Chains A and B, each alone.
Chain A
Amino acid sequence: DGGITQSPKYLFRKEGQNVTLSCEQNLNHDAMYWYRQDPGQGLRLIYYSQIVNDFQKGDIAEGYSVSREKKESFPLTVTSAQKNPTAFYLCASNQVRTDTQYFGPGTRLTVL
């Protein structure tokens, strides 16, 4: 099956800890994205990458970091600098110069 996988589905973190969310795709897509979803806020772009070893900040990048060492993987680290990290995190991908983005199932992060 082709698609996007995110793990874990649920994640709990203590304040002050960094945590890494996994995103893997086997769609051979060049571009990958991370969004944050909060109730009533829609989806907001954190980071995106259009090619391996390159990525750009989105609208709310502060407190987050990413890497793109492989085409199929785009992990997101939520650092202790993120003031309000509790949210639903969504990973997406598409081919560069095409519009349709495909989303993973999401990871719900809760800071205790």
Chain B
Amino acid sequence: QQQVKQSPQSLIVQKGGISIINCAYENTAFDYFPWYQQFPGKGPALLIAIRPDVSEKKEGRFTISFNKSAKQFSLHIMDSQPGDSATYFCARGNGGSQGNLIFGKGTKLSVKP
């Protein structure tokens, strides 16, 4: 099974700082790379997603950077806030007739006031 490798496992950032989470994948056939945010005891919610035809996508304080040649993509959270404290999952999907997603193992982010 093609994996998605996510790092770090946990991250502590001061309020106002930049949080950076990285993911790497193995197969260039994938064409959809979402990030999900999950609060304790809740289901994950889509945060932002990118396709490999662009190198960067920004939505508010959240930015995905995509490096196709390195097979890596990352999530940047600018001006991190305590309310951003959650677990973040990257994933890859191959679209088409199968909507399956393969998830990374998650990064637990804590933003300190």
B46 at interface, CB cutoff 8 A: yes
| Most chain B CB within a 10 A radius of its CB, from A59, A101, A106 | A101
Chain B contacts for A94, CB-based, 8 A: 99
| Interchain Cβ contacts within 8 Å, total number | 67
The reply to whether B43 and A104 form a contact with Cβ atoms under 8 Å apart is yes
The reply to whether A97 and B99 form a contact with Cβ atoms under 8 Å apart is yes
**Bound-complex Cα distance A43 to B4 (A):** 12
**Bound-complex Cα distance A98 to B99 (A):** 7
The reply to whether A97 and B41 form a contact with Cβ atoms under 8 Å apart is no
**Bound-complex Cα distance A45 to B46 (A):** 17
**Bound-complex Cα distance A85 to B34 (A):** 28
Tally chain B residues at the interface, Cβ within 8 Å: 27
Q: In the complex, which residue of chain B has the Cβ closest to the Cβ of A58?
A: B100
**Bound-complex Cα distance A13 to B94 (A):** 36
- Which residues, 32 to 66 on B, are CB-close (under 8 Å) to A? 32, 34, 36, 41-46, 49
**Bound-complex Cα distance A98 to B102 (A):** 15
Listed by A's residue number, 22 A-B pairs whose Cβ atoms lie within 8 Å are A33-B100, A42-B89, A42-B105, A42-B106, A43-B44, A43-B101, A45-B102, A92-B43, A96-B99, A97-B95, A97-B99, A98-B99, A99-B49, A99-B93, A99-B95, A100-B34, A101-B46, A101-B101, A102-B46, A103-B45, A105-B42, A108-B41
A→B interface (CB under 8 Å): 4, 6, 31, 33, 40-45, 48, 50, 58-59, 90, 92, 94-106, 108
